[in-house]
Structures are given as C-alpha cells and as structure tokens.
C-alpha cells in the first residue's frame, strides 16, 4: 500500500491526565501512546505518516523524531481543522489517506488494513470505522438511510433526541480518498454546537455530491478505546496484557496467571515454556521452548534464553545470553553476561557489571557450578566445567576444570562465647 498516507492527530490537550507531560507521551508497556499509533499505521503497511501536533508539540517531536512528517496546528479549532493543517502533504497526491488518533493506541494494524481494503473494494470516498455501543453517549452517531448506506455523522452535542438513540458510533478512524477529502474540507464550517470545524461533516458533504461513503464495524470494541485519564491508561494496559498473553498461550506457552504476567511487545517465547505469576518480560526478549520462568522474575531487555532454561524467583536478568539447560533458580542478578549450557548459578549470585562509569561483561562456560552468594566482578571469564566456592568474590578469570575459592578462611575461637 505504498500510495496510502496516514495522518495521526496529536494536537489535543489531554487535561484530564493531570500531568505536566503531554497525554500522548504517556506509556503503555514502555511505549508512548503516540508512538503506538504511528507504529500501528506502519505495521498496516503505511510508510508515509504525518503527525498533526500543537499543544506540547516538543514532547511529541522528541518521541517521534524524524520518523514522521509534522503539521502544526496552532489553535485547536476541531478535527477537520487539524486535518487541514496537513493539506500541503496531501495536495497533488492520489490514493487513500487514513486518519488515526494519537490517543487510540491499541488499534490492530489488521483493522487498519481491512478498512483500506474495504474502501478500495467498495469504491468508497470515505470509509469509517464504527462500533456498536450499549452506551453511545458522547460519541458521534452514524446516520444510515433505509438501505443501510452511511449518510452522515452527527456529533452527540448536535444530535436530536431520536439520533441519540442510535447505538452505532464513530470511532474517529477513517480512510478517505485524498482528492475528495481535500475538496470536502474546503466546505466545512464551524456552524455547530461546539463552534468547531468537524472532520465528521465531510461525510454529509460527500453524500450531497453523490460520492459513496461506507463503514466497517469493528469486531473487537476494545481496539478503539482512547486514553483520556490515568484510569483509562491502566485499562488499556490491561486489555493489551490480555491480548498479548492470549497470543502466547495460543502459541503453546503456559501462563499460570494471565493477570499478573507482564509481557511487553515483540517477545518470542517457545512452546511448553511455563511462566509463573508476577513475571515481567521486556520488549525484544527471546525465550526458547521448555523453559520455566518465575514466579517474581524480571527479564529485561536484550535477553536471549535457549531451550530448557530456568529463571526462578526474585531473579533479574539483563542482556543475558543463556544456553540450553542452564538454571538461575533464586535471588540473582545476572546482567551483561553469557552463560553456557547446563550451568547452575547458585542462589544469590550477582554479576557486578557496573563500576559507576562502564558496564562490563561476565562470561561463564558450560557445565559449571557457581556456589551460592558469589559476586562476579566484571569483566571476568569463567571457563567450562568450573566450580566456584560459595561466598566467593571472583575478580580473576577461572580456567576450565578449576575450583575457585575467593573468601576469608573461617577461624573458630574455642570457648569464646563462654566469657
């Protein structure tokens, strides 16, 4: 779909967040709302993305950088006015433009694709994403004729009592023919209850010209949820959590508790791996088959675990590449490390990877046994088949097959405690 352009509306204020930060740079699973909206367009195959920014635009530009083009909306005069600010990027172009909202972050890329495909297939000049709500209050209502054709959108504040009974609502996501959108935008006015230039007025304008418009009803209503306050931010995080976790379970991963397992985007987990409760797995992590993770494990960025690896309770790992069959069963921090196969990392072992200035690496070979409460002061390399005595602080490399002991000898003072 190389001809399709996307516009992400991101000029809104978001006062209900009660935050110094722009609403759109708040995060769900470590990723800003506006970045999610842009990535959803990209994943739907749209490369050319324009962000309409205004209020706190510096914050949004800091997040999106030069991955998008910008249109500036100086004054918030409505959604139609917002799109008009992107006019210079649309003029002379043919094909479709998709309009998205920066605060609607968990829309599925497949839904965007379906909207574009239906629009092309049915030769519509405007195709809206709509939903059926039991409580449609506040939303724009979809006006259809007896034949079911979409004729207009009426905003809640402008609707008659009869129109307010309509349960089909405008999700605020659209696919337009570029040329006819520009033509229609030229004739919208702010003559309505809110004194705004409504993008939604374009539908009636097109119909008056005899241009066909239509709608796609979203199957999963949670996709079109927006974020206006921090309660909704948590709700959407929860919805995404259930969606991501369900997908892993469909692929054969066992998740004991869907509610307390926090798997970020783009994580790969092999079949028959078991994830115990209160586990967090950050974006980009790879976990093999037949692994056991948690409870209370924290798998941070850059981890790559082979098959049959065990990461137990109260274990944090970061940038750890761990080979098959290795176990880190309890109370450890393993960061910036490579660990071979069938090695056992004793309880309380930590990599001292940071000296206050630099991060250094720890390498441990295959078939090794690291005794409990060992400090591995990086950079340090332990060979294959090594054995480290419990309580050691390892500062020097350990050769293959060696036993390393690095602690004070114990002294027993006989009868000392009788005094």
Site for ligand UD1 in 113-172 (CB under 6 A): 139-140, 153, 155, 169-172
Segment interacting with ligand UD1, rule: CB under 6 A, options 4-12, 299-307, 308-316, 407-415: 4-12
Instruction: List the one residue from 25, 44, 51, 52 that touches ligand UD1 (CB under 6 A).
Output: 52
Question: To the nearest whole angstrom, how small is the minimum distance from the Cβ of residue 24 to ligand UD1?
Answer: 8
Question: To the nearest whole angstrom, how small is the minimum distance from the Cβ of residue 17 to ligand UD1?
Answer: 12
Question: To the nearest whole angstrom, how small is the minimum distance from the Cβ of residue 102 to ligand UD1?
Answer: 5
Instruction: List the one residue from 4, 59, 101, 245 that touches ligand UD1 (CB under 6 A).
Output: 101
Question: To the nearest whole angstrom, how small is the minimum distance from the Cβ of residue 73 to ligand UD1?
Answer: 5
Contact 335, 345 (CB under 8 A): no
Instruction: List the one residue from 5, 6, 7, 11 that touches ligand UD1 (CB under 6 A).
Output: 11
Segment interacting with ligand UD1, rule: CB under 6 A, options 6-14, 258-266, 313-321, 332-340: 6-14
Segment interacting with ligand UD1, rule: CB under 6 A, options 195-203, 238-246, 322-330, 358-366: 195-203
Considering beta carbons, is residue 126 or 345 the nearer one to ligand UD1? Answer: 126
Site for ligand UD1 in 203-232 (CB under 6 A): 226
Question: To the nearest whole angstrom, how small is the minimum distance from the Cβ of residue 4 to ligand UD1?
Answer: 20
Contact 381, 363 (CB under 8 A): yes
**Site for ligand UD1 contains 81 (CB under 6 A):** yes
Helical ranges in 223-315 per DSSP H: 230-250
Site for ligand UD1 in 20-39 (CB under 6 A): none
380 DSSP β-pair partners: 362
DSSP strands (E only) in 327-379: 327-330, 333-339, 344-345, 350-352, 362-364, 369-370, 375-377
- Phi and psi torsions of 62, nearest 5°: -65, -30
Cα gap 190→186, rounded to integer Å: 12
Would you state the structure tokens that stand for residue 152, as one six-digit string? Answer: 């207009």
Cβ neighbourhood burial of 361 (10 Å; 0-12, 13-18, 19+): middle
Question: To the nearest whole angstrom, how small is the minimum distance from the Cβ of residue 208 to ligand UD1?
Answer: 18
Q: 330 an active-site residue?
A: yes
Site for ligand UD1 in 347-376 (CB under 6 A): none
The C-alpha torsion from 133 through 137 and 139 to 140, rounded to 10°, is 100
Contact 132, 116 (CB under 8 A): no
Contact 338, 321 (CB under 8 A): yes
Which residue do the tokens 């978001």 mark? 14
Helical ranges in 95-200 per DSSP H: 109-121, 178-185
Consecutive H or E run containing 72: strand 69-72
| Interacting residue ranges for ligand UD1, rule: CB under 6 A | 9, 11-12, 52, 73, 76-79, 81-82, 101-103, 139-140, 153, 155, 169-172, 198-200, 226
Catalytic residues: 330
């Amino acid at each position: 779909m190389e001809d399709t352009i996307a516009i992400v509306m991101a000029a809104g204020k978001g006062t209900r967040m009660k935050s110094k930060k722009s609403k759109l740079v708040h995060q769900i699973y470590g990723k800003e709302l506006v970045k999610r909206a842009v990535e959803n367009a990209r994943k739907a195959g749209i490369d050319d993305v324009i962000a309409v920014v205004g209020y706190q635009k510096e914050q949004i530009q800091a997040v999106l950088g030069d991955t998008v083009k910008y249109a500036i909306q100086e004054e918030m005069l409505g959604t139609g006015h917002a799109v008009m600010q992107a006019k210079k990027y649309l003029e002379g172009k043919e094909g479709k433009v998709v309009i998205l909202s920066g605060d609607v972050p968990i829309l599925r890329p497949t839904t965007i694709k379906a909207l574009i495909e239906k629009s092309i297939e049915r030769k519509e000049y405007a195709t809206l994403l709509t939903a059926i709500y039991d409580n449609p209050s506040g939303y724009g209502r979809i006006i259809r004729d007896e034949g079911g054709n979409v004729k207009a959108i009426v905003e809640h504040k402008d609707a008659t009592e009869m129109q307010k009974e309509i349960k089909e609502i405008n999700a605020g996501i659209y696919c337009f023919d570029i040329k006819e959108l520009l033509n229609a935008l030229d004739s919208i006015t702010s003559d309505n209850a809110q004194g705004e230039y409504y993008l939604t007025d374009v539908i009636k304008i097109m119909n008056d010209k005899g241009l066909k418009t239509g709608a796609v009803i979203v199957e999963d209503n949670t996709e079109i949820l927006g974020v206006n306050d921090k309660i909704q931010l948590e709700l959407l995080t929860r919805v995404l959590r259930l969606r991501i976790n369900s997908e892993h379970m469909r692929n054969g991963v066992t998740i004991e508790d869907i509610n307390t397992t926090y798997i970020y985007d783009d994580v790969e987990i092999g079949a028959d791996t078991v994830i115990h409760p209160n586990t967090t797995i950050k974006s980009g992590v790879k976990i093999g088959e037949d692994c056991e993770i948690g409870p209370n494990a924290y798998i941070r960025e850059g981890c790559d675990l082979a098959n049959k690896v065990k990461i137990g309770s109260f274990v944090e790992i970061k940038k750890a590449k761990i080979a098959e069959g290795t176990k880190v069963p309890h109370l450890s921090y393993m960061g910036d490390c490579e660990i071979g196969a069938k090695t056992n990392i004793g309880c309380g072992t930590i990599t001292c990877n940071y000296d206050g200035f630099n991060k250094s690496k720890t390498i441990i070979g295959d078939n090794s046994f690291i005794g409990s409460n060992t400090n591995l002061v990086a950079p340090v390399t332990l060979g294959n088949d090594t054995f480290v005595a419990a309580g050691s602080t390892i500062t020097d490399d350990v050769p293959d097959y060696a036993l390393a002991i690095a602690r004070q000898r114990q002294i027993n003072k006989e009868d000392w405690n009788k005094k």
